[in-house]
Amino acid sequence: MSISPKDVLNKNKNLNKRIDVEKINLDNVTIDDLTFNGNNYEEYINLHSLLDKVSACQVSDAYNSISRRPGTFNSIKPVNNQKVFGKIFTAETADDDWGTSAIAIDEAGDGDILFFKVDGVDKAIWGELASTCARDNGIKATVIYGCARDLDALLYMDYPVFACDFCPNAGSALGLGSLNEPIEVEDEIINPGDFFFGDENGVVVIPKELFTKTMIATLAVKVKESKIIDDIASGRTLAQIVGLK
């Protein structure tokens, strides 16, 4: 197998490089720049420099500013308070079918976020074994509109999990659910490939077609809030800054 000069240059690029917020440039950034493809180094670095520095609150504020919708699902809570972002791989199943979770782990791509819509909360469709397998397969996180279990392990795992609730019991390996099709959660349609952002505050889902606009708005929110923090540090009160005094 031959190695080209381009291969050498790409190998030597530091994908962990981050730049200051005021220097971030989102020109030409798309949702595909969440992944480095060998030709999008600048876009990848700028996008990740932003996403590493913002919160679900700021992403939600930004999305709301362009769509008048928050993008949040308040019933879904962080299990282990880890930040994660990426493209969504959807799944839908009943709460007595953890087999669909096992199949989804094999079908999802590297860097995907598994998002499950579960019909019921009497049983858990996700736990320690599924998290371990998903993490080792390169999946970034799991979001469950339903229940998880094995909290004693999940709380300390290096794998983000978000769920509505938890319980100790599980169903069976039926594998009867659907994968990577549109799902409806709390009257909102989530499509495969939509953007997910989650952290300690909760979760936000952004339609893929509004990703770039939302990222530009998120940068504006971050810059504005950073300036407000600087103003507070200089002695101004929040009431003065927002024009209430």
Tell me: pLDDT of 152 over 80: yes
Average pLDDT, the chain: 94
Q: Give the mean pLDDT of 200-211.
A: 98
The model's pTM = 0.93
Q: 6-19, pLDDT tens digit by residue?
A: 544 555 689 999 99
Query: In the chain, what percentage of residues exceed pLDDT 90?
Result: 86
Q: Give the mean pLDDT of 197-206.
A: 98
Domains of the chain plus CATH, in order, are 5-69+211-241 (no CATH), 77-206 (3.50.30.40)
Tell me: pLDDT of 1 over 50: no
Q: 42-71, pLDDT tens digit by residue?
A: 999 999 999 999 999 999 999 999 999 999
Q: 101-147, pLDDT tens digit by residue?
A: 999 999 999 999 999 999 999 999 999 999 999 999 999 999 999 99
Q: Print the SS3 string covering the chain.
A: CCCCHHHHHHHCCCCCCCCCHHHCCCCCCCHHHHCCCCCCHHHHHHHHHHHCCCCHHHHHHHHHHHHCCCCECCCCEECCCCCEEEEEEEEEEECCECHHHHHHHHHCCCCCEEEEEEECCCCEEECHHHHHHHHHCCCCEEEEEEEECCHHHHCCCCCCEEEEEECCCECECCCCCEECCCEEECCEEECCCCEEEEECCEEEEECHHHHHHHHHHHHHHHHHHHHHHHHHHCCCCHHHHCCCC
